[in-house]
Amino acid sequence: MSEHLIHIDDAQGDLLSCATFLAENISSADGHSEAMSALVPRFIERSEVDLAAQLADSVRDPFVRDRLLMHVAEKCAAIDDDEYAFQLIEAIEDQGTQSMAREKVALQKSAKDEIDRALEIVEVLSHPDDAFADIALHQIIKNDEESALKTLERIDFPASRTTAYQNIAVYFTKQQNSIKADEFFELAVGAAKDIEYYEEKVRALTDVAHQFREVGNVERARELFEDAKIFAERIDGVHRDSLLAKISVGFLQAGDLESADRTLDLVGDNTQVSSCLVGFSRIFYENGETQEAIETLEEAYALLKSQRDAEIRDSKARFGLFANIAVQFAQFEKYERAIEIAQENIDEMQQLSALSQIARIAAGKGNDELAKQALNAIFEESTKMFTLIGMSDAKNAAGDDSQALLYLKEAQELLDSVPQTASRSDAFSAFATRYKQHGDIEKARLFLHENLKTISGIRDESNRSIKLAELAEFYEQYEFKLTEAETAILKEMVRKAEIF
């Protein structure tokens, strides 16, 4: 057995150290990589960069190792240990990841207003566009627009330049400088039109159109949606319909129903048409047109259901859309219809997800009877338990503390019926969090103790280590100290790890 980076005494008295000690003992390369991917970021957060780097370097999967070293190097730059950051970068074997690490370090320097240093690092990058965009934004923030424009000129790809201009425009919008915001939004439009590939061009133009709409310039938004539509019509590929559907929704958001309908007529895939109609219904509802919203949603459902097998291009997307329609009916407070549609979904995961969301929405809006009806339609005990926790959250958000606690207690009663140890662990943490929110520290403490006992029984080594690390965050956040009984559990886990 190789020498441990975590001392056994530390592992026996600290949750995160124990989790790491156990992870070091994992023989499976995949399992070890998975555990370290969860653990190294926690040491990075604590600024324990030496240990984080050593743990990252111990990973046998070269891709995971390099990615973790990159994140440690980024942290080093954030805490001004640039020398160590570049040592770690040099240790990264993959050239692409090494370049990405240099870019992340440059971004850290830019964020700290070390613009010259950031530019110096960027000079050696093979793809520096994103870094130039970030540097330009910080130059704008420092009121150095002249330098920012020079930096922006160095961006090669129009798509990257579009995003850079947009980010600066958004900054000026937040500063309530509408003249400068419009100026940079228009620069973004020009860059978007320079994009060679139609799909990328359409996405960029649609994005800028939405931003114009959000700042209140709906006329310019409509013009750009029209431009995007013209380019989308030229696309001959699988993304054509989805892009046209999004443009159609954009038109309606900009208040142009006629253009929205004309664009929707161009969409050939009925799943995308249905998705677009779901978007329409949401907009109608937000505008107070409730009946129109419900009728449009019914139209979306009918169209989706009428599809023949030969017409279905993506079954997964179709089942997901069925679930979305069900949930949207619940948001419109049509709960019985929502439950009916959810139960028709033959994809069990989508069905469970929809029913769970419907129950939470109904509970939050005070309709406990139909919330319970949706809950009772859930056939999987673990999902039912977490749905009750969600219903408790909804009641808590609505200010109904007593009902929130009743739902929480009802969820507790299902714990014994959940066979999966990992799910039980997640539940214990969820209960601890909720009782802490309700001010019951004693119960929160009890559930975290039970979680530790549960985690010690998880057979999968990687999962056990990850869950233990997650538990460590709760103890640290709530400032709980380990009891003698909990220390004994850690010691037993370490003892078993040493044996095997």
Q: What is the pLDDT of residue 145?
A: 95
pLDDT at 214 exceeding the cut of 80:
yes
Encode pLDDT of 456-483 as tens digits.
Answer: 999 999 999 999 999 999 999 999 999 9
pLDDT at 312 exceeding the cut of 70:
no
User: Please, which contacts does 445-448 make with residues 24 or more away whose CB atoms are closer than 8 Å?
Assistant: 445/478, 445/480, 448/474, 448/475, 448/478, 448/480
Share of the chain above pLDDT 70, in %: 99
Average pLDDT estimate for 247-276: 95
Q: What distance in Å separates the CA atoms of residue 105 and residue 77, rounded to the nearest whole number? A: 6
DSSP string, 171-220: HHHHTT-HHHHHHHHHHHHHHHHT-SSHHHHHHHHHHHHHHHHHTT-HHH
pLDDT at 22 exceeding the cut of 60:
yes
Beta carbons of 95 and 70 less than 8 angstroms apart = no
pLDDT at 500 exceeding the cut of 80:
no
The residue with tokens 């929704």 is 249
pLDDT at 84 exceeding the cut of 80:
yes
Q: What is the pLDDT of residue 175?
A: 95
pLDDT at 306 exceeding the cut of 90:
no
Q: What is the pLDDT of residue 237?
A: 83
pLDDT band at 1 (very low <50, low <70, confident <90, very high): very low
**C-alpha distances in Å from residue 137, one per residue of 104, 106, 165:** 15, 13, 9
- Tell me the average pLDDT of the chain: 94
Q: What distance in Å separates the CA atoms of residue 456 and residue 343, rounded to the nearest whole number? A: 37
Q: How many CB atoms lie within 10 A of CB 362?
A: 25
pLDDT at 351 exceeding the cut of 90:
yes
Encode pLDDT of 137-166 as tens digits.
Answer: 999 999 999 999 999 999 999 999 999 999
pTM, 2 dp: 0.89
Backbone angles phi, psi at 56, to 5 degrees: -60, -40
Encode pLDDT of 98-139 as tens digits.
Answer: 999 999 999 999 999 899 999 999 988 888 999 999 999 999
pLDDT at 2 exceeding the cut of 80:
no
**C-alpha distances in Å from residue 329, one per residue of 51, 294, 427, 432:** 51, 8, 29, 33
Lowest-confidence range among 84-93, 185-194, 366-375, 488-497? 488-497
Average pLDDT estimate for 422-437: 94
